[in-house]
Amino acid sequence: MNNHCNNCHNSENIINHRFHPEKKGIRVFGVAESFRPPRIKSTIAGVVMRRDLIIDGIVLNNTTLKGNDSTENILCMFKSLKRSDINCIILDGLIISMYNIIDGKLIQIETGLPVIAITFEDSAGLETSIRHHFLDNPESKLEQYGKLGKRDRVLLKTGKFLFIRYWGLTLKHAITILNSFTLQGSIPEPIRVAKLVAHSTHVLYEKLKNDDSE
């Protein structure tokens, strides 16, 4: 199967003024991953979901653990759909596949769509962990990580908190999107379904590989 970032609060966060998150027909593209070491690839799934929570598109790809191909492969997934009706992209975090760092700003630029990246917990920073995993040359990963910028802590209508970075839309609009697609807890439905698809696909791949080797 088939990289630069800016703080979501700076002047380069180009707002799409034609974006109306309150519209009933809005669609989002949710992306999440699944992996199990020692496999060197993770499975990433993208799910297109309407505001009424109907799924009308799924696409799969992979990324390399500790690699640098996550942004490119997510863009490949999106472009393969050949859809003009997607209004926003939601990413299940920017640091996936053992520090394969996603460039949310570049995805926003390349697609022309607003991008929201979510995480569920606060963190004191990952610099020490990055240095541990990339002993030979941590500088490149540390630079990528430093460019991600700070996260905003937001309260959802469910009473749960998320930590988000966002590009191409306002904080108010980002919260509106997340509330529209979150039924309970803190996980938006496009991300929840994408996680399930990625996990099931990854497990099936491992099973088929094991069956072939017997």
Global confidence as pTM: 0.88
The span from the CA of 117 to the CA of 71, in Å, is 13
Any domain includes 18: no
Residues 67-96, mean pLDDT to the nearest whole number:
97
* pLDDT computed for residue 177 by the predictor: 97
Any domain includes 9: no
Phi, psi of 130, rounded to the nearest 5 degrees: -65, -45
Domain of 104, CATH number, reads 3.30.2170.10
Dihedral sign, Cα of residue 88, residue 92, residue 95, residue 99? negative
User: pLDDT averaged over the chain?
Assistant: 88
The span from the CA of 146 to the CA of 12, in Å, is 16
Closest C-alpha to 179, from 15, 18, 21, 49: 21
* pLDDT computed for residue 135 by the predictor: 85
- Residue 114: pLDDT over 50: yes
Any domain includes 17: no
* pLDDT computed for residue 4 by the predictor: 34
**Domain of 102, in residue numbers:** 27-213
pLDDT in tens, 10-61: 334 666 656 777 777 899 999 999 987 777 899 999 999 999 999 999 999 9
The span from the CA of 31 to the CA of 56, in Å, is 14
* pLDDT computed for residue 211 by the predictor: 65
pLDDT in tens, 122-163: 887 889 999 998 988 899 999 999 999 899 999 999 999 999
Any domain includes 209: yes
Any domain includes 152: yes
Any domain includes 2: no
- Residue 62: pLDDT over 80: yes
202 vs 81: which has the higher pLDDT:
81
Closest C-alpha to 100, from 128, 141, 135, 132: 141
Give the total number of structural domains in the chain: 1
The span from the CA of 174 to the CA of 15, in Å, is 11
In a 3-state reduction of DSSP, which class is residue 6? Answer: coil
**49 sits in which H/E element:** strand 41-50
The per-type count for the chain, helices as H runs and strands as E runs, is 6, 9
**175 falls in which pLDDT band (50, 70, 90)?**
very high
